[in-house]
Structures are given as C-alpha cells and as structure tokens.
Amino acid sequence: MIAWVALIALVIAAPFGVEAFRSPMSEEVRAGAPGRFAPLSQGTTHYRWIGPTRGPIAVCVHGLTTPSFVWEGMARQLSEAGYRVLIYDLYGRGYSDRPPGRQNRDFFLRQLDDLLGNQGIEDDFTLIGYSMGGAIATAFAEANPGRLRQLILIAPAGIRITVGPTMRIVRDIPLLGDWLALTFFPHSHRKATEAERSLPSAVPDIVDRQQAELRWRGYIPAVVSSLRGILAGDQQQAHRSLAQSDLPVTAIWAREDRMIPIRAMGDLAQWNRTALHEVINGAGHGLPYTHTREVVTAMLELGR
C-alpha cells in the first residue's frame, strides 16, 4: 500500500520536478541573443528593431507559443516597404523574463505600454497582432485608440478559438490543469510544430526554434497563465468599442486555420462593420511565416 502511495505521489510530482530543473533564462543565454533588452516594471523584455531608422513605425505582438522570431520574415518585407518594425518577446517567451502573475489583459498591456515608453513611441504607429497577439493588440487599441495609426489583426484570438477537452481542463481547473500541461504539452507542441516542417517558411529553422522553447523554465506555465488570462473570454465589447472610434481596423484570416476558424471573420464583421477583411487561401494558422508575402501584400493594400 505504501509503495502504491509513493508511486502515485511520484507520478504527480514528476512533471513539476522536471519543470523546476529546466534551464532558467539567464544573462549568459541572453549574451548570444540578437537585439536589445529593456528593464521594464514587470521584468526585462527582449526586443529588436528591424528596418530603416526613419519611417512609419509598426509594432508587432506575437502569439501564445512562438516568440518574436515569428515576425522575422514579415518584418523584413515590411522594412522593404519603408516601415521601421519593432518586435518583442512577451513575458514567459523567448529571451524575456518570466514574472509571476496571471497573464491577463492588464499584464500584457502594461508590458506593451512600458516598452513603448522605453522606446519613446508615443502615437501614430501601426499595431499588428497575431493570434493571441491579436487579442493583446485589440485590448491596447480599445484603451488607446487615439495613439494608433491603424490596427492590423492576423488570425486574431479573442473572437473564436478551437478549444479541445484537455485544453479546457488546463484552462479551467487549477493544479490538475497545471499537471496536465506540464505532462502533455511538450509532446503536443512538438507534434503540432513537426506537422509544419514541410511547409515553406520565411523564418529559418522555425520548427526547431519553436521546439527549443520547451527547454526553458517558465515557458509552459506562461502558456497556461495566458489561457487562463487574456484568452479566457471573447473581446466582443472591445471590438464594438473600436467600431465607434475612428481607428482603421484590418483583419487577415487563413482559410485552412484550425485554431482560429474562418467563421470568426463573421463575428468580427458583426461587431465592427467598418473593419476590412482579407482571406489567405491555402493558409493555416502559421500564415505570418508560411504565407508571408500574401499577408504583407494584404496589409499594405488594405492599410489606411
């Protein structure tokens, strides 16, 4: 009996032990990182400027699991169009810190606002959000519509999202959800990213770089915290509020997206009838790096 109890306790504790022994983000690791680091109110944030030193500014917010390198292809092409592009790692991802706290609306808006202040960006910039970054960008735009030139949403979360039973438990049930995430997320993340290895990509070695995130302590807890925070509800009110503002909104969708279904476009069209829409045929959820040229072309043609 005691042996069985000990075995069960070991099974329960093992994923938390593995997480504790993952490598921490450190100054030694950051020494080889591209870009720079900003000491902000919640922790250090890794960022990069790509493009000319002058020109219209575009600030890019990435999604739930892939850090700012997801923007490398798009940033290069936007810089060729004259944009000065700022990309950064959300807390818990890439080279940024892993501060505690629920990763909700206020958490992410504070990081973005801190970074903009640190970089001297006040207003008249384009804000681009992809996936979860679309939810963050929408929340920021609702709070600061007068600061933006335009809002670009790429397969944005906060409208509809495909949530399976395991993800629902992770999101809704503390402790059990944490255990499930630490136990099964590494395998599911590798499987999902490996399925894209044969796809074209404007970001070199993106699959290997996505999977490498699993080595760092705090990455999986950050994903879980975001599921329970910024991704826990929809943003209908935020989009309806933006519809009453003068802020131009453009949404770019992937026809074959299994994460953010194309029918989300209909919801957004109802909430904000002034928003413009473009659908990229043949693209899945990774469209910023698999269909980079089409996304940038749509952004430039629809941008106002």
What pLDDT is attached to residue 162?
73
What pLDDT is attached to residue 51?
95
Tens of pLDDT, residue by residue over 132-155, are 999 999 999 999 999 999 999 999
Tens of pLDDT, residue by residue over 285-294, are 999 999 999 9
Does position 216 have pLDDT exceeding 90, yes or no? yes
Neighbours of 44 (CB within 10 A): 17
Tens of pLDDT, residue by residue over 150-191, are 999 999 999 977 778 888 899 999 999 999 999 999 999 999
What pLDDT is attached to residue 249?
97
What pLDDT is attached to residue 268?
97
Q: Encoding tokens for residue 108?
A: 């992410």
8 Å CB contact between 60 and 133: yes
Residue 12 pLDDT level (bands cut at 50, 70, 90): confident
Side chain identity at residue 291, one-letter code: H
Does position 5 have pLDDT exceeding 80, yes or no? no
- How far apart are alpha carbons 60 and 37 in whole angstroms? 16
Across 265-284, average pLDDT = 97
Q: Please give the residue that has the higher pLDDT: either 164 or 25.
A: 25
Residue 276 pLDDT level (bands cut at 50, 70, 90): very high
CA dihedral 260, 58, 89, 220 (to 10 degrees): -10
What pLDDT is attached to residue 3?
65
SS (H, E, C) the chain: CHHHHHHHHHHHHHHHHHHHCCECCCHHHHCCCCCEEEEECCEEEEEEEECCCCCCEEEEECCCCCCHHHHHHHHHHHHHCCCEEEEECCCCCCCCCCCCCCCCHHHHHHHHHHHHHHCCCCCCEEEEEECHHHHHHHHHHHHCHHHEEEEEEECCCCCCCCCCHHHHHHHHCCCHHHHHHHHHHHHHHHHHHHCCCCCCCCCCCHHHHHHHHHHECCHHHHHHHHHHCCCCCCCHHHHHHHHCCCCCEEEEEECCCCCCCCCHHHHHHHHCCCCEEEEECCCCCCHHHHCHHHHHHHHHHHCC
What pLDDT is attached to residue 169?
93
- How far apart are alpha carbons 277 and 279 in whole angstroms? 7
Domain 55-302: CATH superfamily is Alpha/Beta hydrolase fold, catalytic domain (3.40.50.1820)
Across 12-38, average pLDDT = 93
Instruction: Say which range, 14-18, 46-50, 59-63, 244-248, has the weakest mean pLDDT.
Output: 14-18
Q: Please give the residue that has the higher pLDDT: either 302 or 43.
A: 43
Residue 10 pLDDT level (bands cut at 50, 70, 90): low
What pLDDT is attached to residue 245?
95
**The model's pTM:** 0.96
Neighbours of 199 (CB within 10 A): 14
Does position 233 have pLDDT exceeding 90, yes or no? no
- CB neighbour class for 128 (10 Å; exposed up to 12, middle 13-18, buried from 19): buried
Across 95-113, average pLDDT = 97
> By percentage, how much of the chain surpasses pLDDT 70?
96
Across 79-100, average pLDDT = 97
